[in-house]
Structure 1
Amino acid sequence: MDFKRNIEKYVELILKVGLNIQKGDGIFVLVNEHSIGMVREVTKQAYKMGAKDVVYDFSDDEMTLARYAYGDESIFKEMPKFKIDYMEAAYKNNYHRLAIVADNPELLKNADAKKVSEWNKTRAIASKPIMKYTMENHVKWCVAAHPTPAWAKSVFPELPEEQALTKLWEKVFDATRVSMDDPVAAWKEHDAALKKHQNFLNEMAFEKLLYKGPGTDLEVYLTEGHRWVGGSGKSTRGDVFMANIPTEEVFSMPHAFKVNGTLKATKPLAARGRIINDFHFTFKDGKVIDFDAKEGKDVLQSLLDSDEGARRLGEVALVADDSPISNTGVLFKNTLFDENASCHFAIGNAYSENIKGGAEFSDEDKKKIGMNNSIIHVDFMVGGPELSVIGVKKDGTQVQILKNGNWAI
């Protein structure tokens, strides 16, 4: 594996397909100590493409742990307003968001749980004014990943750290199509394939979906006028971009008040520096009325308690079980990858692109049509080889969408 060349190809893919950088664009990059080398390559290529500026939001694992270990409890109850103002000013001045995810999925396993929970809620509430810029596509945005030693050891615990890291990089390059000769061309072809599923589902205009699988028996109504979206999206300025690299999903908007039944997760969820495992929900009239988890129940509880909308669904996404990521046979313990290996839902905020005019809706408008509103958006995986999804039209016609976890359309 020519690692240096693959990083160059990966960055080119992120900038050309992910952010679709145009002359005069600015980039706001989330970076940590593990991804600095890759972000240097991002910076170099971005300026070559005509970017006007690249700015950085830096974090560090040891610094994060020090804050939770030694910071006074009071500092987790308020987020300085200037940080939000700074980010909002950037978005208003043609800066676009690139998140290079370089995580340790269990970084906060031994951190003060009260401080972690308090800070996550504080940050989510404070960030609501800028959340709309990505959730409503006012800016272009892209999430991509950078393997770390801790993440690699979590995925491949049987291997020495260096071998685990090399293997994880190989899997990431395969999943993102970087290992192909021309990743940019491969992604254009992949985007076209996702659009075919998107267009079919939009033509069907299903009223509701029926999910059945081990531990899952769920009825999910879709909002009136919902849109399915797969692959590339468009900013409110009309610029095409790819929000996730990789992506294998076609997603839409569930009705926040019309979901009933039981739903069991099929993969662990890495959230807030912890792992949530073997968990399930019971929904009534759209709301989670019961839940449990064998591991990380307290983290799941804190997510659900974020606000009223956190107990309702904001996204429904279909992914074939034989997707390239699923076929790696790897449990990535990273939502960006695991959600694209499996059908999934998200609790919390809905995406405005999943309904016509969504970016202009007031909170009252959203409530009327069943568009969920929340300070969080957290994906969790429900797909697998035994999952069946049936679409039901308004006249009662049923269409098998997924059978044995794979596309039936």
Structure 2
Amino acid sequence: MGNLQTNLEKYADLILRAGLNIKPGDRLMLYINQNSLPLAREVTKRAYQLGVDGVVNRFTDGAFTRALLEHGSETALTWVPDWQIQHDISAFEDNCHRLSIYAEDPQLLKGIDAQKISARSKATSMANRPVMRYTLENRVKWLVVAAAAPEWAQTVFPDLPVETAVEELWRLIFKATRVDQNDPIAAWESHDKSLKIHEKWLNDQNFASLYFKAPGTDLIVRLPAHHIWKGGSAKTAKGEKFIPNMPTEEIFSMPHAYGVDGTVRATLPLSLRGSLIDDFSFTFKDGEIVDFSAGQGEDVLRELLATDEGAGRLGEVALVSVSSPIYQSGVLFKNTLFDENAACHFALGAAYSENILNGATLTDEEKREQGMNTSMIHVDFMIGSAELDVTGRRADGTEVPILRAGEWVI
């Protein structure tokens, strides 16, 4: 892997310059835990070198969360102070941009009552809706990255000693984010251009619907009339470029919330709320999940779908080729940031405003009328494989192959 410290410095520089496109005068808010502190410290140092006016952090710890869910009262489980929400809103209004560093244990909450997890998640999701708008509507620059953590590494590599597992996970993170290349920023500029080629082609096609076919999957996904495909870099309402996820290999848009019919089978496990959901599938009618099953974690999945009316509908459709370096690695990361960039996927819950024309200015009622899903959740699940075919259908019935055996046709 080379020198970890050198790679952390390169990673921090990449995050700030290519990911968040930090400018002098910007401010930065970090969402971190104890495992992400080494990277967070490098990010903070580099941010000040680049001229930011301030760095603040929102710190959490897995043990805190587990203690709350194991021993907290009903009142404690649902307590999300308004001053905490106002803190985040005030920060974003004060030119703070958001960096989330994932370094969690995928099975942190294993054995915890699913109803307790759901109650806590629902309370935090509800309270944070005003905060979520800043990222869902790209009002600020925001980015999600990952840092290796011992618990995560041992989940991915259970047969390796913990130190070796952490080293291997860091190696894969640096490879997926192109930190291991001589000029990571130039590598990301080239990658972004490639993603934009697919983005433009899909937008030019203006498909009315998509058809997904694979073992266990036979699904029609209608698209809103004014849907927009996005991939790679995004722009804020003020026109500032940023990259929301590192790594990223997806081109994504918005399904019509009431236009999904058929059955879809997940091809990778989903790490959710500290639990693992595996071997699961959904059946849709008129956009709504009318049946589902899971070989593992069905109780957690049931609670997720009960979050609100939009939780049982789709908010995102994303296309990823199996030539993705993450898919080619053959590693199951048990982490959505990585696994979603290994395979085509959908998301349950909220859609992104950038995926529909003038989405940031639409009222909630106008969004619903145009087929945009709203929800307190946004949870990705993977459905791609080398057996998946995706076909685009135009309004006149013309069919155009998009993916065959998991690979781009274009």
Q: Tell me, yes or no, whether TM beats 0.5.
A: yes
Aligned partner of 2:239 in structure 1 is 238
Equivalence for 1:339 = 340
Give the aligned partner of residue 301 of structure 1: 302
In 1, Cα distance between equivalents of 2:292 and 2:260: 15
Aligned residue type for 2:229 = W
Unaligned 5+ residue runs, structure 2?
Answer: none
- Superposed CA offset, 1:164-208 (max 9, x none): 111111111111111111111000000000000000000000000
Q: Deviation at 1:29?
A: 0.3
Distance apart, 1:115 and its partner CA: 2.2
Deviation larger for 77-86 or 106-115: 106-115
Q: 1:2 Cα shift? A: 1.5
In the TM superposition, what whole-angstrom CA distance separates every residue of 1:234-291 from its partner, at most 9, and x where no partner exists?
A: 0011100000000000000100000000000000000111000000000000000000
Cα distance in structure 2, aligned partners of 1:192 and 1:89: 34
| Matching residue's letter, 2:347 | A
Q: Which residue of 2 aligns with 1:271?
A: 272
CA distance in 2, matches of 1:113, 1:206: 39
Residues of 2 paired with 1:295 and 1:257: CA distance? 28
Q: How does 1:6-405 map to 2 (within 5 A)?
A: 6-405=7-406
**Structure 2 CA distance for aligned equivalents of residues 365 and 311 of structure 1:** 20
> How many residues of Structure 1 are paired with residues of Structure 2 in the alignment?
409
Task: Give the match's secondary structure for 2:14.
Answer: helix
Alpha-carbon distance between aligned partners in 1 of 2:113 and 2:405, rounded to the nearest angstrom = 42
One-letter identity of the residue aligned with 2:321: A
Residue 121 of structure 2 aligns to a residue whose secondary structure is helix
RMSD: 0.8
2:130 and 2:33 mapped to 1: Cα distance? Answer: 24
Is this contact kept in 1: 2:214–2:387, CA < 8 A? yes
Q: What letter corresponds to residue 366 of structure 2 in structure 1?
A: D
Report the more deviating stretch, 127-136 or 103-112: 103-112
| CA distance in structure 2 between the partners assigned to 1:213 and 1:116 by the alignment | 33
1:189-231 C-alpha deviation (Å, 9 max, x unpaired)? 0000000000000000000000000100000000111110010
Using the aligned pairs only, state the percent identity. Answer: 52
Q: Where in structure 1 are there 5+ consecutive unaligned residues?
A: none
2: CA distance between counterparts of 1:128 and 1:60? 22
Deviation at 1:110, TM superposition (A): 2.3
Q: What's the CA shift for 1:293?
A: 0.4
Query: What is the CA–CA distance in structure 2 between the aligned matches of 1:338 and 1:155, rounded to whole Å?
Result: 12
Amino acid at match of 2:386: P
1:77 offset after TM fit, Å?
A: 2.1
Counterparts of 1:9 and 1:225 in 2: how far apart (Å)? 40
Q: Post-superposition shift, 1:15?
A: 0.5
**SS in structure 2 of the partner of residue 341 of structure 1:** coil
- Report the Cα distance in structure 2 between the residues aligned to 1:130 and 1:333, rounded to whole angstroms: 26
SS in 2 for 1:254: coil
Matched, 1:408 2:409: yes
Q: Secondary structure at the match of 2:30?
A: strand
Shift of 1:66: 1.9
Q: Give the aligned residue type for 1:49.
A: L
| Residues in 1 aligned to 2:71 and 2:266: alpha-carbon distance in whole angstroms | 35
Query: Counterparts of 2:78 and 2:328 in 1: how far apart (Å)?
Result: 43
CA distance in 2, matches of 1:181, 1:108: 39
